[in-house]
Amino acid sequence: MTVDKTKLSYRNKIILAPMVRVGTLPMRLLALEYGADIVYTEELIDLKMIKAKRRINDVLGTIDFVDPSDGSIIFRTCDKEKDKVVLQLGTSDAERALAVGKIVEHDVAGLDINMGCPKEFSIKGGMGVALLSKPDKAVEILKTLVDNLKIPVTCKIRILPTTEDTINLVTKFAATGIAAIGIHCRRKDERPQHQPHPNVIKAVAQAVDIPIIANGGSREIDTYRDIFKFRDRCGVDSIMVARAAQLNVTIFRKEGLLPIFDVIKKYLKLCVDYDNPQSNTKYCVQSMLKELQETPLGKKFLLTQTLHQICNLWDLGDYCYKKQLEYQEKGNFGRREVCPGAIPGDDEETDGPQSKKHKPESETPASSPDILEHNIAFYRANYVEDTSLPKSILHTFASKNFKGVPKYEIQRFDKLFRAICSFDGKKYASTFWEKNKKYAEQGSALVCLLNLGLIEESELIKNGSILR
């Protein structure tokens, strides 16, 4: 059945703009709850998305696109946003862009091509604003997507040196059949501290029939009403909000802004519910706190290292702890499928081009008959106090029994780590590869504790460290 590409309308909309590290699932859902009509993802690069494995996560109720090299989530979405989420893609190639479009077209409401990012990474890859200097290639990408996808296609650009050049470019892009164009009202060499140019966007909007979405006015957007003031200055009917939403996502709320601590608490609950990574969560909360980072609470926050520790500061520690254990018991073990050295796509057919094959930094470290191994994962949520950590327990045991201090040797393979724990003349290691060195050491300590009889296997099964 052919999907109606006009289903997602870009007229008279207030939109959460694509923002690096900010536009992940919890923030998108919060923006929708507070009044945004459409939400964009952060920019996702085509080469990463092509190799991603699509997984239905029954535990979280999400669709996950997983990096097979380390088990990290490249893109996570859910039914709550299905008709309102637009995936922004970083690409410089029509064939790769279409391959990604085919992968995600049943899980998102639209696909946007980033032609406005001025960062060096994007430009070197021929993406972002680099496409504005190659309009024929940009047109090819857009036309290929419009002709072959069942979802609306858009692009986001920056204004060119002259208004006439900008109008000519937008006219070319509109002729491909795309559903809308987002325009950041600054040139590629201008940054947020520079004044925007709403007059240029106004001239473009008057010259074309396609919906124009204005972006770049966050410097003058402090309230919900300001959104519409900037919209009117640009002469458009839709607007994207970026930095103002990053600081307080209740900017989309008609009734006005909510206290930032209330917003953070609600955001953290969504991060727990959707198993958002600690690093991403901390980045977003830090953006919301701004100068409050210098307060006693802010300084405590800066010292946090886990999602549970962050949640504790907003009275959500118990909720986080119980939720994480619940997810483990229900089998939210996506990373257990990760095998160092596996080449993405070897066991699957694909309709599009593949990214470069996974190349390890070194050969996969072989197991040794001298090492006692067990497939045990370390989950930080299982340990409320630092004194209950496996390494701490093993160190205390060694001291009380006059044994030598345990030593840890790290093995690395691409983005994954495991540790070999040497203790009392024997070596212990987990066959489960962790995403950081500290967790790898804790995992090897767990194997050691199990072999020493200091912890029961049934306990590890119960807390999810060992799969049944």
- Collapsing DSSP states into helix, strand and coil, what is residue 127? coil
How far from the centroid of its chain's Cα atoms is residue 413's Cα? 23
Can 117 be counted among the known catalytic residues? yes
State the Cα–Cα distance between residues 410 and 442, nearest whole angstrom.
12
| Residue given tokens 């290292």 in the structure block | 305
Amino acid identity at 362: S
State the Cα–Cα distance between residues 428 and 187, nearest whole angstrom.
57
Cβ pair 280, 72 in contact under 8 A: no
Cβ pair 352, 102 in contact under 8 A: yes
Phi, psi (deg, nearest 5) at residue 281? -60, -45
Token pair of 393 as six digits: 């327990």
State the Cα–Cα distance between residues 163 and 76, nearest whole angstrom.
38
Cβ pair 196, 219 in contact under 8 A: yes
70: how many CB neighbours lie within 10 A of its CB?
17
The dihedral built from the CA positions of residue 332, 337, 340 and 342, taken in this order, carries a sign that is negative
Active-site entry in 117, 234, 284, 311: 117
What letter would DSSP give residue 116?
-
Give 55's strand partners.
64
Q: Where are the alpha helices (DSSP H) in 82-197?
A: 94-104, 120-124, 135-148, 163-174
The dihedral built from the CA positions of residue 226, 230, 231 and 233, taken in this order, carries a sign that is positive
For the purposes of burial, counting CB atoms within 10 Å of the CB of 268, is it exposed (0-12), middle (13-18) or buried (19 or more)?
buried
Q: Which DSSP helix (H) or strand (E) runs through 213?
A: strand 212-215
The residues that are catalytic are: 117
